[in-house]
Amino acid sequence: MNFATQSYAPALPAHDARTLTEGGSLAQIALDGQIYTLRITKAGKLILTK
């Protein structure tokens, strides 16, 4: 027998890091009363710190 299976996972929200930083390299993100800093490095990598 041949059973075709399909998975219907909801799409994950996507956010552009350059938009979050408004063209800069830093953004603050709040979660449950805590503030985190998102940083875009010169190499184009992301760092998230508390």
Query: Residue 29: which residues within 8 A CB-CB, separation 6 or more?
Result: 20, 35, 36, 37, 38, 48
The token pair at 7 is 């998975």
Residues pairing with 26 in the sheet:
39
The predicted structure's pLDDT at residue 2: 61
The predicted structure's pLDDT at residue 6: 66
The tens digit of pLDDT for each residue in 1-45 reads: 566 666 677 899 999 999 999 999 999 999 999 999 999 999 999
> Are 47 and 39 a contacting pair, CB within 8 Å?
yes
